[in-house]
Amino acid sequence: MRKEIFIFVSHLFVSTYSIHPQCSNVAEKPKNCNQTQILCTKGYSSSTGCPLGYFCYDKSLDDPCDFLCPCLEDEITCHSGNPSVDPFTGCSPQKTCIPKETINFKGQICPNFCPAQCGPGFTACPPLIDKNGCYGSETCVSSLNLCPVPKYDANGCAIKNSKFCKRYCPGVFDENGCPGDVICAEEVDNKCPVSKYDSRGCSVVKPIQCEENEVRCSKGFDKRNCLIGFTCQDKFSENNCINYCPTICDEQHEKSCSQGIGFNGCPLPDICIPKIGTRYIYGQREINCTNHCRPSCDLTTHKLCPHVFDVDGCMGPETCIPRGNDCPTSEYDSNGCLVPKTKKCDEKTELFCLGGSDINGCKLQDTCMPRKVGNCLQTCPALCGQGMILCHSGVDENGCKLPDSCVPKQIPGFDQCNGICPKICNGEQVKCVVTKKPKLHLGPFFIQTKHCVLNEFCMDIVDKKTNCTNFCPTTCEDNEKVCEGPLNEQGCKLPDVCVPEMNRGGRGNLCPEHCPIRCPEGERPCPGNIKEDSCREPPKCVAKDKKCPQGERDFFGCKIIEKISKCEDNNSRICPGVYDNVGCRTAPECMQKNETCPQSTYDRNGCRVLGPVACKWSHQKFCPMPLDEKNCPIQGECIEIKNGKCNQYCEPICSSSEHKVCDGGRDTNSCPFPKFCYNKNKACPRKNPFIQTEYEPIIHRKIFDVSSPKVFFNRPFIY
């Protein structure tokens, strides 16, 4: 029997591998990999294809392109030879995993190598084979040079030089199976030499001639699987039965089994079976089982009984027992599980309840239980499998136990939500649910949220002391806070309310939001006054017959100034106040009519007013500048349209909190492309990904961030 060799190559992604149908009960996956981790396998079984386990791989925070699982211990990491950059991820090249070792034509183990990464002007040459028949690594040579000439073939034999002859004699093989030099027939008087070895390096065995009443049989094979020789034996035995050649098995891996006597009373030829067979226990583990030869029974007095399984799920030998006796029954099944005994219950007084399965997937013993205990009907226990929680449902109004139930440990589709048993409340209670809202990323452009149930509890519908209706606690969003609810006309508290934690002030700054105030009888709430930073103070209570106090500042946090309705001098006029460096107006004043009113050097936002800029020369263009730390514009500048043969571009204006400036690369003339804005959490691409070709004119277009639906660059590249 020839031994077969298999090569197993693992995959980078769990989802792309075809899983064996018996792998459903393989070791559980980790409960949850966070957003900075990837779910990876520890490899796959070469015989079953089942995962050997799972682990969470921490992605590198410094390398945004690190989003693939690492290679296994028996693999090496190679990088793609494609130099192109993915415009959406900005990553290139991607890594792949290949086995550390390969098998050559001789069945020997050889080291493996990654493909060569050759730069411009170089050519990747195919790997050369050494004298052991193993491939080396690819090499890079100049495109002007030729690749090196191989010295050995795939079998590790030296490649011989060609020779011109009228008639050729093939080279004889040596003990390694390598051919010798080609010989010209005229050099050996047209008598070509005969090889003592064949192409595998085995000694050439000459066939023998047997008599007519004999058959030629093989003497077997040596450790190199080379034929040892032949022998002759009689075709028929003394009983006129066919005399089969001896069955030759691989002593290391096989054993010979007799097939007994045939219907004609003659012995059948022996067969070879593997010494060891493999059993798969639910795809989780591999058990090496001993194979057994089938016994030869005298069917006139005995019968053949099938094998039984042991505790490992291995088949025992078949047995011969006298007719009339029962064959032995197996205590275990093919998975090594104890076979439960058949349970029979009294249908009138008992319930038949399934036993379920244990953590290994083995079936448990079924049971019988009374149909009724006292005045209460009974139910079978709930069978909760892996990943489920057993929940008790309490009792009914008669004090009888309700059927139990099962809930998932984790809500399907939302791994951040743990399942809990539902709370059972009586008719005078209300069930309150405490929830939490985790963020679940469902794609690059949006985030969907779902509330997770953290706890459930029961509370009385009506408070027995105050006779007021009770309300469950209010659950607010992450950007909200809980404020105490108001009182109704009976003085009972209403549900709490949610308000935003922050709001926008008059200047666009964030201000804390205040909860509504609850005022005593005879008073009413008034809004708080505005402070200098345009944020409001907390609300106050004042008497109902009084007006709410007016603050000293307006919506923008500026002091409220008195208006001038008329100047005392008829030759004067009213000039409005100017804005200061915080965006507030000064008081108006009266000035002579022949005088010019003062102009503001600042605008409403407190930014300095900039005048228009006109470039002096036609070969210049105006470039705007980004905003400063106060979000005020900076004076732009004029730049040359061209610098030699190359165009010059304005610096892009990016959002400093979300984006960074990346170099646009160069074209075939070594002229720079325009710089561009890119996600600050990702590596810059090698060139501007928003330009389709190097020869295409740059046009106005909207550029989108792949991780956010917001437009972050909405300007032309050329101004």
- Per-state percent for the chain, helix, strand, coil, to nearest 5: 0, 30, 70
Phi, psi of 422 (to 5 degrees): -65, 145
Residues above pLDDT 70, as percent of the chain: 83
580-613 pLDDT, tens digit each: 888 898 889 898 888 889 988 898 888 888 888 8
Instruction: Identify the pLDDT of residue 19.
Output: 40
172-224 pLDDT, tens digit each: 898 888 888 888 888 888 888 888 998 888 999 888 899 999 999 998 888 88
Tell me how far apart the alpha carbons of residues 138 and 120 are, in angstroms, rounded to a whole number: 16
Full 3-state SS string of 697-711:
CCCCCCEECCCCCCE
Amino acid, single-letter form, for residue 592: Q
Where would I find the beta strands (DSSP E) of 508-571? 510-512, 523-526, 540-543
Amino acid, single-letter form, for residue 254: E
Other beta carbons within 10 Å of 12: 19
466-501 pLDDT, tens digit each: 899 999 988 888 889 999 998 888 889 999 999 999
Tell me how far apart the alpha carbons of residues 59 and 35 are, in angstroms, rounded to a whole number: 9
Tell me how far apart the alpha carbons of residues 182 and 176 are, in angstroms, rounded to a whole number: 17
Instruction: Identify the pLDDT of residue 455.
Output: 84
Check whether 554 has a pLDDT greater than 70. Answer: yes
Grouping H, G, I as helix, E, B as strand and the rest as coil, residue 650 is coil
Other beta carbons within 10 Å of 184: 15
Place of tokens 């009294």: 346
225-260 pLDDT, tens digit each: 888 899 999 999 888 899 999 998 888 889 999 988
515: CB partners within 8 A, 6+ apart: 481, 483, 484, 499
Lowest-confidence region among 344-353, 587-596, 682-691 = 682-691
Other beta carbons within 10 Å of 281: 18
Check whether 511 has a pLDDT greater than 90. Answer: yes
Strand partners, 15: none
Strand partners, 376: 373
Instruction: Identify the pLDDT of residue 416.
Output: 61
Check whether 307 has a pLDDT greater than 50. Answer: yes
Q: Does the model's pTM come out above 0.85?
A: no
Tell me how far apart the alpha carbons of residues 271 and 176 are, in angstroms, rounded to a whole number: 32
Give me the DSSP letters along 93-160: SPEEEEESEEE-TTS-EEE--PPP---TTEEEEPPPB-TTS-B---EEEETTSPPPPPSB-TTSPBPP
Strand partners, 582: none
Q: Identify the H or E element spanning 347.
A: none
Instruction: Identify the pLDDT of residue 93.
Output: 56
627: CB partners within 8 A, 6+ apart: 633, 634, 653
Check whether 567 has a pLDDT greater than 50. Answer: yes
631: CB partners within 8 A, 6+ apart: 605, 607
Average pLDDT rounded to a whole number, residues 428-433: 89
135-155 pLDDT, tens digit each: 999 999 998 889 998 999 888
Average pLDDT rounded to a whole number, residues 442-462: 66
* 315 closest CA partner among 303, 324, 306: 306
Tell me how far apart the alpha carbons of residues 97 and 78 are, in angstroms, rounded to a whole number: 6
Tell me the torsion sign for CA atoms 631, 634, 639, 643: negative
DSSP classification of residue 88: T
Tell me how far apart the alpha carbons of residues 249 and 258 are, in angstroms, rounded to a whole number: 13
Check whether 674 has a pLDDT greater than 70. Answer: yes
Report angle CA 549, 555, 559 to the nearest 5 degrees: 75
Amino acid, single-letter form, for residue 477: E
- C-alpha to C-alpha distances, 124 to 141, 144, 212, nearest whole angstrom: 7, 12, 63
User: What's the count of helices (H) and strands (E) in the chain, helices before strands?
Assistant: 0, 44
Phi, psi of 560 (to 5 degrees): -75, 120
Tell me how far apart the alpha carbons of residues 636 and 117 are, in angstroms, rounded to a whole number: 46
Check whether 513 has a pLDDT greater than 90. Answer: yes
* 283 closest CA partner among 494, 22, 528: 22
Return the exposure string of 500-531: e unless at least 16 CB atoms fall within 10 Å of the residue's CB, then b: eeeeebbbeeebeebeebebeeeeeebebebe
To the nearest whole number, what is the mean pLDDT of the chain? 81
Report angle CA 34, 39, 43 to the nearest 5 degrees: 155
Tell me how far apart the alpha carbons of residues 499 and 481 are, in angstroms, rounded to a whole number: 6
* 429 closest CA partner among 484, 472, 393, 493: 472
* 621 closest CA partner among 640, 602, 605: 640
Instruction: Identify the pLDDT of residue 368.
Output: 94
Report angle CA 442, 443, 447 to the nearest 5 degrees: 60
**Residue 494 · residue 485 · CB < 8 Å:** yes
Instruction: Identify the pLDDT of residue 323.
Output: 92
Tell me how far apart the alpha carbons of residues 270 and 646 are, in angstroms, rounded to a whole number: 87
Tell me how far apart the alpha carbons of residues 280 and 301 are, in angstroms, rounded to a whole number: 37
Tell me how far apart the alpha carbons of residues 24 and 535 are, in angstroms, rounded to a whole number: 60
263-288 pLDDT, tens digit each: 888 999 999 999 988 766 554 556 78
**Residue 276 · residue 301 · CB < 8 Å:** no
Lowest-confidence region among 317-326, 441-450, 498-507, 675-684 = 441-450
Total number of residues shown for the chain: 719
Instruction: Identify the pLDDT of residue 57.
Output: 82
Residue 677 burial (10 A CB sphere; 0-12, 13-18, 19+): buried
Amino acid, single-letter form, for residue 283: G
Strand partners, 456: 433
Check whether 706 has a pLDDT greater than 70. Answer: no
